[in-house]
């Protein structure tokens, strides 16, 4: 970097970064941004929102730049970050919004993830509180969603880290120079994802919370319980049990030393089949018989969401009990794609020395 450019980075005396991260991508982005600030003599504070009292944040000191970094879950910021923003004190500071999304690689082309409504919603909340948004940046880090797709290979993971680090550093220098950055607004088609983001928020995330289980490889070390940022895992019948609090951040799965945490594709498929062919059909038959046909699509969506959440709660409790029987446990394990080598590579963001050129 040119000496003149270093000297010109003087727009802020202090930055305060708040991040949430499941598998480490958002944490890396927060650290990369912070390093640029520190290298340029700007005081930098960095807070993991899973480890602080999220309801009693001090009003940010005037003039400090506030930076929020979080992964995207279901085309939105995850509930922990949204709640944090909702409870964040008012202020007039300048703000930077960043997210990490599901990046993948085709040849040398990084396929972008989808931010959905995250920036728009967060910007609205912060704008109402008096803040002014100065810059936004989506960062296409390696996708960690191995419940949905096979885990990425090492070459892809390393390449995405190398490329994104440079991108974040360039962005940080620009922002710390006092410039604004809103290129991501080109992706305005993201707004079309609003209905899916809503569906994920009201029902999808609760179903996903029940897709995790611990196989018989679990040795009850309780590490998953300790690392969970929202304390969503409890013990039932002496085995880990995922509650509706789970944010599906994948941290437990990527940290289990026995690789015992799986996504139960088999029992989830059985749930979808039973729910759509029996439960839903029976519900509408009985409801129409004793009450009145539900014509309104919003009421139908609310009823179906409530019903699916209720049914998955019962279904998951049953599966948890069946896991106590060896033969059932094997069926559940062998119908979980994450059990197989070609799919279930666990993902954890890399440390600097693991991807340096
Ligand atoms: C439950 C879940 C939902 C996700 N939804 C999206 C999404 O809507 N759009 C996207 O681009 N990436 C999505 N991802 C991928 C993550 O946002 C991405 O891998 C992110 O970099 C993870 O950051 P972290 O390591 O800090 O948790 C999702 C991942 C999970 C586990
Ligand atoms: S981290 Fe793995 S082995 Fe340890 S209790 Fe959790 S599921 Fe079991
Ligand atoms: S239970 Fe696992 S996936 Fe769910 S929030 Fe906790 S660490 Fe994340």
Per-residue pLDDT of 99-147, as tens digits, reads 999 999 998 899 999 999 999 999 999 999 999 999 999 999 999 999 9
What share of the chain has pLDDT > 90, as a percent?
90
Contacts of residue 9, Cβ cutoff 8 Å, sequence gap at least 6? 40, 42, 173, 176, 177
Atom of ligand 1 nearest to the CA of 349: 25
Instruction: State if residue 20 touches ligand 1 by the CB under 6 angstroms criterion.
Output: no
Taking 90 as the threshold, does the pLDDT of residue 19 lie above it?
A: yes
- For ligand 1, say whether the CB of 249 is within 6 Å of any of its atoms: yes
d(CA 220, CA 243) in angstroms, rounded, equals 17
For residue 2, pLDDT beyond 90: no
Ligand (nearest to CA of 20): 1
- Provide the pLDDT for residue 9: 66
Residue 27 sits in the same domain as residue 67: yes
> What confidence tens digit (pLDDT) does each residue in 246-298 have?
999 999 999 999 999 999 999 999 999 999 999 999 999 998 878 888 888 88
Ligand 3 centroid to Cα of residue 39, in Å, is 34
Q: Whose CA is nearest to atom 28 of ligand 1?
A: 73
Asked whether residue 355 is assigned to any structural domain, the reply reads no
143 lines ligand 1 (CB under 6 A): yes
Q: 181 and 246, same structural domain?
A: no
Ligand 1 pocket member 248 (CB < 6 A): yes
The mean per-residue pLDDT over the stretch 324-341 comes to 97
Pocket of ligand 3, beta carbon within 6 A: 22, 228, 230, 232-233, 242, 246-252
Following CA atoms 114, 142, 39, 8 in sequence, which dihedral angle do they give, to the nearest 10 degrees?
-30
Ligand nearest to the CA of 227: 3
- Are residues 133 and 218 located together in one domain of the fold? no
Q: Are residues 137 and 216 in the same domain?
A: no
Domain containing residue 102: CATH number? 3.40.50.360
Has residue 18 got a pLDDT over 90?
yes
> Span 37-59, mean pLDDT?
95
CB 98 within 8 A of CB 73: no
Q: Is the pLDDT of residue 5 over 90?
A: no
Q: Report the first-to-last Cα separation within the chain, whole angstroms.
A: 18
pLDDT of residue 1: 44
Give the mean pLDDT of 215-239. Answer: 97
**Are the beta carbons of 98 and 33 closer than 8 angstroms?**
yes
pLDDT of residue 282: 94
176 shares a domain with 214: no
Distance 152 CA to ligand 1 centre (A): 13
Cα(273) to centroid of ligand 3, in Å? 26
Are 102 and 181 part of one and the same domain? yes
Answer whether residue 94 is part of any domain: yes
* pLDDT band at residue 8 under the 50/70/90 scheme: low
CA distance linking residue 33 with residue 35, whole number of Å: 5
| 234 within domain boundaries | yes
What is the spatial distance between Cα 216 and Cα 239, in angstroms, rounded to a whole number? 9
User: Do 310 and 212 belong to one domain?
Assistant: yes
Q: Treating both helix axes as pointing N-terminal to C-terminal, what angle do 297-322 and 265-274 enclose, rounded to 10 degrees?
A: 130
| Nearest Cα residue to 334 out of 180, 210, 216 | 216
Same domain, yes or no, for 26 and 161? yes
- β-bridge pairing 261-263 and 104-106: unpaired
Q: How confident is the model at residue 59 (pLDDT cuts 50, 70, 90)?
A: very high
CA of 71 to the centre of ligand 1 (A): 5
Range of the domain at 229: 198-339
Per-chain mean pLDDT for the chain: 95
- Asked whether residue 22 falls in the same domain as residue 100, the answer is yes
Residue 258 CA: which ligand 2 atom is closest? 3
Cα Rg for the chain, rounded, in angstroms?
A: 22
Write the CA distances from 332 to 11, 214, 236, 262, 266, integer angstroms.
Answer: 56, 10, 18, 10, 6
Domain co-membership, 21 together with 70: yes
The total number of structural domains that make up the chain: 2
In a domain, 274, yes or no: yes
Exposed/middle/buried for residue 273 (C-beta within 10 Å: 0-12, 13-18, 19+): exposed
In-domain check, residue 348 = no
DSSP state of 101: -
């Amino acid at each position: 970097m040119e000496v003149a450019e270093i000297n010109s980075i003087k727009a802020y005396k202090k930055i305060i970064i708040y991040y949430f991260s499941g598998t480490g991508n958002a944490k890396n982005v927060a650290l990369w941004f912070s390093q640029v600030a520190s290298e340029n003599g700007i005081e930098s504070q960095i807070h993991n929102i899973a480890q602080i009292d999220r309801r009693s944040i001090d009003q940010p000191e005037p003039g400090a730049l506030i930076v929020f970094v979080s992964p995207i879950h279901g085309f939105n910021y995850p509930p922990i970050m949204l709640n944090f923003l909702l409870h964040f004190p008012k202020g007039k500071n300048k703000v930077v919004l960043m997210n990490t999304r599901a990046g993948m690689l085709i040849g040398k082309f990084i396929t972008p993830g989808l931010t959905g409504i995250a920036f728009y919603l967060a910007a609205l909340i912060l704008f109402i509180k008096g803040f002014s948004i100065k810059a936004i940046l989506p960062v296409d880090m390696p996708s960690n969603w191995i419940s949905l797709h096979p885990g990425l290979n090492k070459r892809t993971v390393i390449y995405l880290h190398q490329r994104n680090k440079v991108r974040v550093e360039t962005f940080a220098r620009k922002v710390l120079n006092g410039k604004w950055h809103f290129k991501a607004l080109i992706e305005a088609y993201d707004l079309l994802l609003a209905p899916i983001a809503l569906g994920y928020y009201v029902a999808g995330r609760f179903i996903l919370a029940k897709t995790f289980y611990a196989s018989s490889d679990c040795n009850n070390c309780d590490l998953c319980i300790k690392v969970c940022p929202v304390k969503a895992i409890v013990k039932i019948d002496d085995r880990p049990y995922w509650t509706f609090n789970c944010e599906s951040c994948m941290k437990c799965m990527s940290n289990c030393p026995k690789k015992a945490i799986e996504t139960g594709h088999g029992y989830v498929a059985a749930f979808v089949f039973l729910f759509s062919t029996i439960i839903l059909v029976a519900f509408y038959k009985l409801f129409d018989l004793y009450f009145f046909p539900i014509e309104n699509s919003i009421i139908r969506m609310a009823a179906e969401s409530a019903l699916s959440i209720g049914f998955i709660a019962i279904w998951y409790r049953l599966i948890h009990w069946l896991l106590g029987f060896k033969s059932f446990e094997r069926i559940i394990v062998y119908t979980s794609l994450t059990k197989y080598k070609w799919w279930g590579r666990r993902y954890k963001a890399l440390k600097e020395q693991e991807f340096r050129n």
